[in-house]
Amino acid sequence: MTASTTTDEVIVTENLTKVYPGDILAVDGLDLSVHRGEIFGLLGPNGAGKSTTAGMLTTRVLPTSGRAIVGGVDVVAHPAQAKRLIGVVPQSNTLDRALTVYENLYFHGRFFGMSSKQSKTESLRLLDQFRLSERAKAPVLALSGGMAQRLMVARAVMHRPSILFLDEPTAGLDPQSRIALWEILSELHGEGQTILLTTHYMEEADQLCHRLAIIDHGRMLALDTPERLKASVGADTIVTISTDTEDREAFATRLRSSIPGATGASAIDSGVRLEVQGSHGVLPAVIAVADEAGVAISDLRLDEPSLETVFIKLTGKDLRE
């Protein structure tokens, strides 16, 4: 069971594949390795296969082929055992509506074998840690979205899982709750909690994750730290040039060859995106090239490479599409 895992690997997948009925290939031969204590992100657009991957790792989706080992346990062969080692925060609110806030934690502890006393102590401690003590006796329906999310995270970590899964944890949260959740995840990480999260928010992936797998159409396109992924773009500045000129391709090619330090240029919907190493003097140079080409520029923007840039480079499309 533990043949292919080292003590430092909390998740290992080998050629993990899921084909849904109707020949829909959701995850295509994924090889992952998540280390103890890291925050690992699966980044990709909606429908990329992130949730299916998380579903397979948490026993909710049966792989079509391949293997998934979580905490040393084969999740397909021993799902009940694997469930003791994982904590899951799903996309939708799955709190027990028939119970109060406190009882949601108390019974979770009992499901996982805590004694009544242990479960009570631990529930109260978590309510305090997640700033929910005042709502202990409230029905869960009375909680705001952010509070419900915090309670789900508290519930998921209550039995001290080897790994905490969060599926799009901040989708639908207001910005304040999102930041509060990021803080909580950082705190949990500080306590040594291994975390795997799926997200299609680049800021979230960039801010939280130590390593990221960029996924599209069920395939892993890149796997590295956010810094190295951004560095892989091979430019330190991204110039976005807005123009309504007809032939953006030609303009992109012209920019690529004329701008000093240009490492890449591509036509996008609103104009041209130019990648440059060394941004000094790039703006006047772009304007000069546009003048020569007779292209009218309506806007110019300089950015550092982001994960979005990486994603566009890898897939040729925008993450938000």
Interface with another protein (CB under 8 A), residue from 112, 224, 263, 302: 112
CB 285 within 8 Å of CB 257: no
Three-state SS at 301? strand
Which residues pair with residue 40 across a beta bridge?
Answer: 196, 211
Pairing relation of β-strands 65-70 and 73-74? antiparallel
Three-state SS at 31? strand
Q: Which of the stretches 111-119, 171-179, 233-241, 274-282 binds another protein when contact is defined by CB under 8 A? A: 111-119
Instruction: Give the Cα separation of 185 and 318 in Å (integer).
Output: 27
Least Cβ distance, residue 148 to another protein (angstroms): 12
Least Cβ distance, residue 199 to another protein (angstroms): 19
Least Cβ distance, residue 90 to another protein (angstroms): 6
53 φ, ψ (degrees, to nearest 5): -60, -50
Indicate the burial class of 295 (C-beta count within 10 angstroms; 0-12, 13-18, 19 or more): buried
* Site for another protein contains 1 (CB under 8 A): no
Q: Within a 10 A sphere around the Cβ of 151, how many other Cβ atoms?
A: 24
Least Cβ distance, residue 110 to another protein (angstroms): 4
* Site for another protein contains 169 (CB under 8 A): no
Q: Which of the stretches 40-48, 78-86, 195-203, 277-285 binds another protein when contact is defined by CB under 8 A? A: 78-86
* Site for another protein contains 131 (CB under 8 A): no
Would you tell me which residues interact with another protein (CB under 8 A)? Answer: 20, 52, 55, 58-62, 78-81, 83-84, 86, 88, 90, 92-99, 103, 107, 109-114, 118, 122, 125, 129, 155, 158-160, 187, 190-193
